[in-house]
Amino acid sequence: MKGKIEDNKISIDFISDSIEEISEYKRYEFIINPNLWKEIVHPDDYENSKNLLNNFIQNKDENIQIEYRIISKSGAINWVRNKIRKIENEDGTLNNILGIVENISSTIIQRDELKKKIDELQKLNKTKDKFISIISHDLKSPFTSIVGFTELALTDSTLSADEMREYMGHIKDASMHTLDLVNSLLDWTRLQTGRLAIKPVTVNANYLVRKTTEILKGFAAQKGIELIVDIDESIFVQADEGILTQVFNNLVSNSLKFTPKDGAISILAKRLEDQQKVEFTVKDTGVGIDEEDIKKLFVVEEKFTTLGTEGERGTGLGLSLVKEIIEKHNGKIYVKSVVGEGTEFIFTIPISTPAILVIDDKQTERIIYSKLVEGFTEGITIYTATDFEKAKMIIKEKMPMLVISESKINDVKASEFYKSIRETQAKYKPSYFILTRHISEEEKANCRKAGIDEIQLKPIEIKLLKKILDELVLGIEQ
**Ranges of each domain in the chain:** 2-103, 111-196, 199-351, 354-472
In order of 37, 266, 450, the CA distances from 95 in angstroms are 19, 70, 44
Q: Taking each helix axis as running N to C, give the angle between helix 363-376 and helix 462-472, from 0 to 180 degrees, rounded to the nearest 10.
A: 70
pLDDT, position 311: 47
Tell me: cis bond preceding 459? Omega within 30 of 0 counts: yes
Would you tell me which CATH number, out of the four given (3.40.50.620, 3.30.930.10, 3.70.10.10, 3.40.50.2300), belongs to the domain 354-472? 3.40.50.2300
Query: Which pLDDT band, with edges at 50, 70 and 90, does 144 fall under?
Result: confident
pLDDT, position 333: 92
Minimum mean pLDDT range among 107-111, 298-302, 345-349, 415-419:
298-302
Residue 289 confidence (pLDDT) above 80: yes
Question: How many Cα atoms are found within 13 Å in the side-chain-facing hemisphere of 457?
Answer: 6
| Residue 66, beta-bridge partner list | 82
Q: Which is more confident, 302 or 94?
A: 94
290: left (phi over 0), alpha (psi -120 to 50) or beta: beta
Q: Which residues contact 99 (CB under 8 A, 6 or more apart)?
A: 1, 2, 3, 82, 83, 84, 85
Query: Which pLDDT band, with edges at 50, 70 and 90, does 344 fall under?
Result: very high
Measured CA to CA, the distance from residue 348 to residue 446 in angstroms comes to: 35
In order of 79, 132, 352, 397, the CA distances from 276 in angstroms are 29, 39, 8, 9
Query: Which pLDDT band, with edges at 50, 70 and 90, does 268 fall under?
Result: very high
Residue 270 confidence (pLDDT) above 90: yes
In order of 137, 178, 184, 332, the CA distances from 305 in angstroms are 14, 14, 14, 22
pLDDT, position 215: 77
Residue 67 confidence (pLDDT) above 70: yes
Residue 466 confidence (pLDDT) above 80: no
Superfamily of domain 2-103: PAS domain (3.30.450.20)
Residue 426 confidence (pLDDT) above 50: no
What is the arithmetic mean of pLDDT over 233-239?
A: 83
pLDDT, position 282: 94
Residue 42 confidence (pLDDT) above 60: yes
Residue 474 confidence (pLDDT) above 50: no
What is the arithmetic mean of pLDDT over 102-120?
A: 85
pTM value is 0.47
pLDDT, position 14: 63
Residue 70 confidence (pLDDT) above 80: yes
Residue 314 confidence (pLDDT) above 50: no
Same CATH fold assignment for domains 111-196 and 199-351: no
Residue 322 confidence (pLDDT) above 50: yes
Residue 307 confidence (pLDDT) above 50: no
Handedness of CA 447, 449, 451, 455 (dihedral sign): positive
Residue 368 confidence (pLDDT) above 60: yes
What is the arithmetic mean of pLDDT over 112-133?
A: 74
Helix (H/G/I), strand (E/B), else coil: 239: strand
Residue 158 confidence (pLDDT) above 60: yes
pLDDT, position 471: 64
pLDDT, position 370: 84
**Mean pLDDT estimate for the chain:** 80
Residue 316 confidence (pLDDT) above 60: no
Among 124-133, 330-339, 392-401, top mean pLDDT goes to: 330-339
What is the arithmetic mean of pLDDT over 341-351?
A: 92
Measured CA to CA, the distance from residue 95 to residue 83 in angstroms comes to: 16
pLDDT, position 127: 60
Query: Which pLDDT band, with edges at 50, 70 and 90, does 190 fall under?
Result: low
Query: pLDDT > 90: what percent of the chain?
Result: 12
Q: Are strands 431-436 and 400-405 parallel, antiparallel or unpaired?
A: parallel
What is the arithmetic mean of pLDDT over 214-238?
A: 85
pLDDT, position 332: 92
What is the arithmetic mean of pLDDT over 247-257?
A: 86
Query: Which pLDDT band, with edges at 50, 70 and 90, does 476 fall under?
Result: very low
Span 199-351 CATH architecture: 2-Layer Sandwich (3.30)
Span 111-196 CATH architecture: Orthogonal Bundle (1.10)
Measured CA to CA, the distance from residue 476 to residue 478 in angstroms comes to: 6
